[in-house]
């Protein structure tokens, strides 16, 4: 017996949708609207920022007055010499943000690299990101 696949909402291409349960999909893309792209957006976050930090990363955040959160990245060549290393760190940050952005309640977030980031492997960076975003979620709820 052949069963037809469930209809998928037309929010995004199918590979951008995550199945939360049997009947609910969440858009998991990283569109331009959830990125900080302008210099004045970064300056606003820097000037009004709350700050969380770990060994390799600094997380700056402020409320943006929107109903969705946005992400900005500043991964320095000074700290990670090779483009492949910087790109890996940025991919990890974007993935962690993508998983948490629904709980961040309209926050602009900027992540900055620190010198100690060079000493961390991929698993340690992921653990640091999990801790930082967990703290941020707690702050956004209160």
Please answer whether residues 108 and 45 qualify as being in contact, where contact means their C-beta atoms are separated by less than 8 angstroms. Answer: yes
Give the model's pLDDT for residue 17: 52
Lowest mean pLDDT among 30-39, 55-64, 91-100: 30-39
Residue with tokens 């951008």, as numbered in its chain: 16
Per the model's pLDDT, the better-predicted residue between 22 and 71 turns out to be 71
Output the average pLDDT for the chain: 82
User: Structure pTM?
Assistant: 0.78
Contacts of 86 (CB under 8 A, 6+ apart): 75, 77, 80
Give the model's pLDDT for residue 101: 80
Distances (CA, A) of 129 to 23, 112, 142: 30, 12, 20
Give the model's pLDDT for residue 4: 47
Structural domains of the chain, ranges and CATH numbers in brackets: 1-30 (no CATH), 31-141 (3.30.230.10)
Distance from the Cα of residue 50 to its chain's centroid: 16
Per the model's pLDDT, the better-predicted residue between 99 and 93 turns out to be 93
Tens-place pLDDT, residues 6-17: 444 444 444 455
Residue with tokens 């959830």, as numbered in its chain: 34
Q: Is the pLDDT of residue 111 over 50?
A: yes
Residue 103's pLDDT band, with cuts at 50, 70 and 90, is: confident
């Amino acid at each position: 017996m052949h069963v037809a696949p469930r209809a998928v909402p037309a929010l995004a291409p199918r590979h951008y949708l995550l199945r939360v349960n049997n009947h609910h999909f969440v858009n998991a893309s990283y569109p331009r609207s959830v990125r900080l792209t302008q210099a004045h957006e970064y300056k606003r976050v820097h000037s009004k920022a709350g700050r969380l930090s770990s060994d390799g990363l600094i997380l700056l955040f402020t409320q943006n007055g929107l109903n969705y959160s946005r992400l900005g990245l500043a991964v320095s060549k000074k700290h990670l010499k090779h483009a492949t290393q910087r790109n890996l760190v940025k991919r990890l940050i974007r993935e962690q943000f993508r998983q948490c952005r629904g709980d961040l309640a309209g926050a602009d977030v900027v992540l900055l690299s620190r010198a100690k980031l060079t000493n961390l492997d991929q698993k340690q960076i992921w653990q640091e990101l999990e801790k930082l975003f967990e703290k941020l979620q707690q702050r956004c709820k209160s």
